[in-house]
């Protein structure tokens, strides 16, 4: 029998990418000052992160099949730790950007590698239960990252964040080396990468699903990218911004609960995604109206609720027609929507207007959700 990965370790590896994405957010104003760059340039480090993450999803996904789950995960974590050390000792902003992209490339293994291990060793109801636990963990991980980032930044500026990330990587490498089993099946099938990519690029349903996932993620991550500077302009502390992540985690949890409740009531996936887009557009409009007050964080709860409703439903149905090559298709699908997310966050960084970004992203999501139902 295959040895199953310990749930606590698998959960930690799944949470790792989201924690390291959000732990960095409170440090953005400090990075802007420390490297003497503008808010727009500092914020672009987050969009570049997702471009590199997208490439990493495909690379590590293929390596998991070719070399095994365990070596791929350990190699990715080692790369992330090394890149965090480079970022810590960087004195030039361009070197910091390179280090952040390498870190993102390595961090991608936490998502794709762990999902592969779970799908190797769990089936049917047991698999659904495991992903239910993972969903709860992923809902709270951004809050953990933001609070940790706020604490580290308040004591040691952005250097504290990079030190914390290097230590986290070292702990996960050590833990994985000791406790992580190899779960790759002996008869694993490796679908042709280029052939699968061409098929998916010609699939309109895949493009709609990828665009929807990217747009809902832009709504979420534009807060982490732009809100630190909003707090600074309002004369509010980095710590307060970090603790606002708790409110957002509550919103994602509320969205997940509402999604589960409505599914039990017989709501279809397309109807739920449409509801999520309407909720995001309403919340984004209220954020724009309250942009000059601290109260703009309250309607953000509606925006992150929409994320908790939409994302599970889109992911659940996106690869229905790729059951014969789900591993390769999943990696390529991740590449597509992370690249789109990177583009969206690049535009968001140029605008520096959170409310406008939310309204535009939610409006486009509503358009695609309507097309998806028809």
Q: Where in the chain is the domain with CATH 1.20.1250.20?
A: 1-187, 189-374
Residue 194: burial class (beta carbons within 10 Å; 0-12, 13-18, 19+): exposed
pTM summary value? 0.80
Indicate the pLDDT class of residue 124, thresholds 50, 70 and 90.
Answer: low
Q: Give the number of other CB atoms < 10 A from CB of residue 119.
A: 16
Span 189-374 CATH architecture:
Up-down Bundle (1.20)
Give yes or no for residue 2 having a pLDDT over 60. Answer: no
- DSSP class of 295: G
191: helix, strand or coil: coil
pLDDT digit string, tens, across residues 138-156: 767 888 888 898 889 988 8
Closest CA to 172 of 14, 2, 54, 56: 14
pLDDT digit string, tens, across residues 188-224: 777 788 898 999 999 999 999 999 999 999 998 899 8
CATH topology for 1-187? Growth Hormone; Chain: A; (1.20.1250)
User: How confident is the model at residue 198, as a pLDDT?
Assistant: 93
Give yes or no for residue 1 having a pLDDT over 50. Answer: no
* Cβ–Cβ < 8 Å for 113, 13: yes
């Amino acid at each position: 029998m295959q040895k199953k990965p310990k749930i606590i370790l698998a959960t930690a590896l799944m949470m790792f990418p989201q924690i390291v994405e959000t732990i960095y957010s409170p440090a953005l104003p400090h990075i802007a000052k420390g490297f003497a760059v503008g808010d727009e340039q500092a914020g672009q480090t987050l969009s570049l992160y997702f471009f590199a993450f997208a490439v990493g999803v495909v690379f590590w996904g293929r390596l998991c099949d070719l070399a095994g789950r365990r070596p791929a995960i350990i190699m990715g974590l080692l790369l992330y730790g090394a890149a965090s050390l480079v970022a810590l000792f960087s004195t030039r902003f361009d070197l910091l950007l390179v280090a952040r992209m390498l870190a993102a490339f390595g961090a991608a293994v936490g998502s794709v590698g762990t999902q592969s291990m779970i799908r190797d060793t769990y089936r049917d109801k047991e698999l659904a239960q495991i992903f239910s636990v993972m969903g709860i963990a992923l809902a709270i991980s951004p809050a953990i990252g933001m609070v940790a980032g706020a604490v580290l930044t308040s004591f040691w500026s952005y250097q504290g964040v990079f030190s914390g990330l290097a230590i986290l990587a070292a702990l996960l490498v050590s833990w994985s080396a000791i406790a992580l089993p190899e779960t790759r099946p002996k008869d694993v099938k490796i679908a042709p990468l280029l052939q699968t990519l061409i098929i998916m690029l010609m699939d309109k349903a895949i493009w709609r699903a990828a665009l929807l996932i990217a747009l809902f993620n832009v709504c979420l991550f534009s807060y982490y990218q732009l809100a630190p500077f909003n707090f600074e302009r309002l004369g509010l502390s980095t710590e307060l911004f970090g603790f606002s992540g708790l409110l957002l985690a509550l919103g994602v949890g509320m969205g997940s609960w509402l999604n589960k409740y409505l599914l039990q009531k017989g709501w279809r996936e397309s109807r739920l995604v449409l509801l999520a887009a309407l909720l995001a557009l309403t919340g984004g409009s209220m954020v724009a109206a309250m942009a000059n007050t601290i109260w703009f964080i309250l309607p953000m709860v509606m925006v992150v609720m929409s994320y908790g409703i939409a994302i599970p439903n889109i992911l659940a149905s996106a690869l229905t027609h790729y059951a014969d090559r789900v591993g390769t298709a999943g990696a390529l699908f991740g590449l597509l929507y992370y690249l789109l997310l990177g583009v969206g966050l690049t535009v968001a960084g140029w605008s520096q207007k959170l409310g406008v970004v939310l309204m535009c992203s939610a409006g486009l999501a509503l358009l695609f959700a309507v097309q998806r139902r028809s």
